[in-house]
Every structure is written in structure tokens, then in C-alpha cells.
Structure 1
Amino acid sequence: MVIGICDDENVIRDKIEKICINETKKYCEDVVIQKYSDGREVLEKDFDILILDIEMEDVDGIVVKNYFQKRKKDTIIIFVTSHNEMMSQAFGVNVMGFVAKSYLDNQLQVMLDGAMKRVMNTVSIEGVDSRKVCYIQAEHIYNILHLENETEVSVRCSSADLEKMLEGVGFIRVHRTYIINMAYVDHIKDKTVLVNKREIPVSARLKSRLRKEYSRYCRENARYC
């Protein structure tokens, strides 16, 4: 994954870089962070995520966004700004949002996590890469993450919070006690689903949704169901 940082203030670039380093540690992917001081420098480059100052001399963030959009680049853009009045010009297809420079420490971390989730199709569950989780089982006040290597990790997080966190990355609830990762589905039966060779119960009210969502998941990921 390549993350670009483009801002004409050296102090801001370094601060953003530090936040990016800390945030990307939660994931197991190799991440390259590249820094630029002028929008002109990024026009012909490719990034997965670009953290971009709206107002810069010569080529500003709006120009960069329009250039990327015209060429249909998939780069996710996060704008940082001290000028809220320019936000109305900055909306675009791949613009994820806006972060005020005065609130970088709090706002950028949340925005960057969402952008990485979109790019990598994964989230970090208390340091565990969701792609390694086969299914989640609720147990009292804990949830047990059952991993692909047949180990387990216990997290103190509600099923509802986990379900919300995992939206859009291939997980689906199949029972009040179970959330599964569709990447590990072997076979869907009448009342159960086989996940990494483990039979998981499927509640009657969720059976139809499971089949529909799994079919869509297979189409989107070029898998045979």
C-alpha cells in the first residue's frame, strides 16, 4: 500500500507521517509513505491513499483532486485544511472526508483507519487482522475470534460493535451467537454453514440473507460458490 502526504508545511507533513506510521502498525501489510510539498509533484503518481492539503501555492489540493477524478484514478483522498470555506469545492468521487489541521491527532486517525479498511478490505480487531478471522463466537461479555491457524483470541467487545466494525469487509451475522467471514465458507447447508471445516448454526430468519450476501460476495470476489 502506498500512502502519499502532500502539504506545503514541513511540520504538518512530519506530523501526518507520524500518525500514519502509528496507525498502519495495526495492519500486516507493507506500507510505503511518500511525502511531497507541492501538488504538482503528485499529479502523475499513483497512491492508494493521498492525504492532501486543500490550499497550496501553484497547484493546490482542488486541482489535484480534479486531475485524479478526470483520469478516473482510484486513489482515496483525505483533505487536511485550515480553511473550512474551501470544503465545498473539495467534494469528489473518491474524497473520503476532511480533517482540520488543528485536530489532526484525533480526526486523521479515524479517517485513515476507514480509508485503509476500504483499500485493504480489512479492519484491525484489537490488533488482529480481520482477514485471519474465520468466525466470531459470542461468549458472555467476551467475543472469541477463531483464527485460520486454529488459535483463539478473546476480545472484550460487544457483538453489535463488532458487526458494525466489520461492515463491508466480508463478514455477516448468521446467528445471535455467531458472525462469520465469508472468505472461509466451505458450504451452506439448510440450518448450518461450514466455515473452515467447522459447522456453524444459521438462524431461520438469517438464512435467506446469508445465501443472498454470500452469492454477492462470490461475484464481487470472482469466487465459485
Structure 2
Amino acid sequence: MIIAICDDQRRMLDKVYCYCKKIVQKKTEVFSYTRPEDLMQSIYRGIIPDLLILDIEMPEVSGLEFQKQLQRNKMDIDIIYLTSHSEMMQEAFGRNVVAFLNKDNYEIRLAEILTKYEQELSKVLEIQCEGKIKELELKYVLYIQASNKYSEVYYRQPGDIKTDYLLSGYTLSRWQEILPENQFCRVARNVILNYGNVKKIDRDMVYMTDDKCFKIPKGKVRQFRTAYHAYMRKQVVIL
């Protein structure tokens, strides 16, 4: 797991960095930046964080604008916002926002969030592909589609622009038995979706983060919307 922290105030940055290093697993890497431009350049060079901890208000590029830059580049990286400006939270709500933490007492929940996040990334699917076992983090699975007697597991990891897929011998019914039902939904006969990678719902169409869209069967739209919003409410922490 890779964590990147960005705050233009060096004292606050060092404080959060040291706190993160103290509580995360040894294999987790933590990087810190005072300028959003340096963080973005690091991402372009291939250091792709699984999680960003951003100051919501910075003079050159705000945390909000940085989030929009990621979205324009089709980079799905989760964000924890640190803020002293609660009035900015409404604007920042949306996909990939894990938490809003107050700078004055962020320690209360940050340890809990990071521990949970590391646990989520430790959940993997084992898929046999070309005679080898491929491990894929559950979080990064977008959707699974039926393909004759097989299934195609589509995924996109942080920083990836294109969606890739693995061919599995499991049927969708078998995947339903394996996957957590609070995170995955068989929205139609031939596809299972990951709520965490839904970009938006428009009437009876659901759009994924790679812009692939699926039609929700008539009669299941309200049920799907309710389950999706329940999932999303559980993902965001406000302190």
C-alpha cells in the first residue's frame, strides 16, 4: 500500500507523516509533499498512491482542484481530506472521498481509517489465468461479465487509465457465492457490479468509473439505488 500526503504547511505535513508512519504496517510506504504539483509529477513518474491525504485548501492548487485533475485524467485514487473549513465539505463530496477530518483532532479517527483501509486492500481474489494464480485486490474490481462458459473480471488499479480483464472459469453464480453482497450486486443476468466503482446512476443506467454503462432491469432500479446509497454512506467518515 502507498500513502501520499500533501499539505502546504510543513509543520502540519510532518506531523501527519510521522503519525501515519507510526500506525501503518511496515510494508506500507508513506510519501509527503508540500506542493500538489510535485505530488502529481510523482504520480506521472509511476509512484501511484492507493490513498491520498490532502489539505482541502492550499494556495497554488487546492485539494478540491487536485481531485478534479485526477478525475480529468481518469485516475481513481481515494482521498482523505484534512480541513479547518467545514463549509468546503459539501463541494468535496463525491466519488473516492473516504473521509473529512478536522486538522485539530484528526488523530481520533485517522488510525482507525488507515487500519480499515489496509484490511480492505488485503482482501484479494485468486484467479487462475494461463496456468498461474493471479491475485487481484477486491477493491479494484469494477465488474464481472458472463462470457459463454467463463467470466471476465474487469479491473483498474490506481493510476491506470485503461481497464484490463482476466478470464475466469467461474460462473456468475459462483462469483455471487464468493463476493461480499454488501459490495457487489448482480444487477442483470450477465453482470455483477462493484458498488465502490460506480460513477453515477442516471435513471435506469449505471455508469462505471471506466465509463462502461449497464442497464438496470425494470423493477430493480429503486432496489439498486437504495443498496448503492447505503454502501456509499458507510464509506465516508466526517469528523
Q: TM-score, normalised by structure 1?
A: 0.51
1:193-212 to 2 correspondences below 5 Å: none
Are 2:74 and 1:50 aligned?
no
Asked if structure 2 preserves the Cα contact closer than 8 Å seen for 1:77 and 1:95, the reply is yes
2:35 aligns with 38
1:5 aligns with 5
How far apart are 1:21 and its partner, in Å?
1.4
3-state DSSP class of the match of 2:4? strand
Q: Distance in 1 between matches of 2:3 and 2:77?
A: 9
Q: Distance in 1 between matches of 2:122 and 2:13?
A: 24
3-state DSSP class of the match of 1:89? helix
1:1-225 to 2 correspondences below 5 Å: 1-25=1-25, 30-44=27-41, 45=43, 46-121=48-123, 213-216=176-179
1:174 aligns with none
3-state DSSP class of the match of 1:55? coil
Where do 5+ consecutive residues of structure 2 fail to align?
125-137, 140-173, 181-190, 193-239
Q: Distance in 2 between matches of 1:87 and 1:81?
A: 9
In structure 2, give the amino acid aligned to 1:121.
K
| TM-superposition CA deviations, 1:183-202 (whole Å, max 9, x none) | xxxxxxxxxxxxxxxxxxxx
Q: Distance in 2 between matches of 1:92 and 1:7?
A: 21
Q: Distance in 2 between matches of 1:3 and 1:216?
A: 26
Pair 216,95 (structure 1): closer, same or farther in 2 beyond 3 Å:
same
Q: Percent identity?
A: 32
Q: Distance in 1 between matches of 2:14 and 2:52?
A: 15
In structure 2, give the amino acid aligned to 1:31.
T
Asked if structure 2 preserves the Cα contact closer than 8 Å seen for 1:65 and 1:92, the reply is no
How far apart are 1:215 and its partner, in Å?
4.3
How far apart are 1:216 and its partner, in Å?
3.9
In structure 2, give the amino acid aligned to 1:30.
K
3-state DSSP class of the match of 1:43? helix
3-state DSSP class of the match of 1:74? coil
Q: TM-score, normalised by structure 2?
A: 0.49
3-state DSSP class of the match of 1:73? coil
Pair 60,2 (structure 1): closer, same or farther in 2 beyond 3 Å:
same
In structure 2, give the amino acid aligned to 1:85.
E
Where do 5+ consecutive residues of structure 1 fail to align?
123-167, 170-210, 221-225
3-state DSSP class of the match of 1:59? coil
Aligned residues: 131
How far apart are 1:60 and its partner, in Å?
1.0
Q: Distance in 2 between matches of 1:102 and 1:50?
A: 19
How far apart are 1:6 and its partner, in Å?
0.2
Q: Distance in 2 between matches of 1:89 and 1:40?
A: 22
How far apart are 1:212 and its partner, in Å?
7.1
In structure 1, give the amino acid aligned to 2:31.
Q
Q: Distance in 1 between matches of 2:62 and 2:96?
A: 17
| TM-superposition CA deviations, 1:108-145 (whole Å, max 9, x none) | 112222332333338xxxxxxxxxxxxxxxxxxxxxxx
Structure (1 or 2) with the larger CA radius of gyration: 1
In structure 1, give the amino acid aligned to 2:14.
D
| TM-superposition CA deviations, 1:129-171 (whole Å, max 9, x none) | xxxxxxxxxxxxxxxxxxxxxxxxxxxxxxxxxxxxxxx89xx
1:172 aligns with none
Q: Which has the higher contact order (CA 8 A, sep 6+)?
A: 2
Q: Distance in 2 between matches of 1:215 and 1:32?
A: 30
Pair 215,113 (structure 1): closer, same or farther in 2 beyond 3 Å:
closer
How far apart are 1:58 and its partner, in Å?
1.0
